[in-house]
Amino acid sequence: MFPVARAAQSLVARSIQQTAVRQAHRKHEPTFHDKYGTTVLLAGAAVFSAVWGYVLTQLKVEWGFSPTGRITPTEWRE
Per the structure, the count of domains in the chain is 1
What pLDDT does residue 43 have? Answer: 97
Instruction: Determine the structural domain holding residue 1 and report its residue range.
Output: 1-50
Q: Decide if 65 is inside a domain.
A: no
What pLDDT does residue 68 have? Answer: 67
Q: Decide if 41 is inside a domain.
A: yes
3-class state of residue 24 by DSSP: helix
Q: Decide if 9 is inside a domain.
A: yes
Residue 11 has pLDDT above 70, yes or no: no
Q: Decide if 78 is inside a domain.
A: no
Exposure class string for 6-44: b at 16+ Cβ within 10 A, else e: eeeeeeeeeeeeeeeeeeeeeeeeeeeeeeeeeeeeeee
Longest dimension (CA), the chain: 108
What percent of the chain has a predicted confidence (pLDDT) above 90?
22
3-class state of residue 75 by DSSP: coil
Q: Decide if 70 is inside a domain.
A: no
Q: Decide if 64 is inside a domain.
A: no
| Overall pTM > 0.85 | no
Q: Decide if 6 is inside a domain.
A: yes
pLDDT band at 62 (very low <50, low <70, confident <90, very high): low
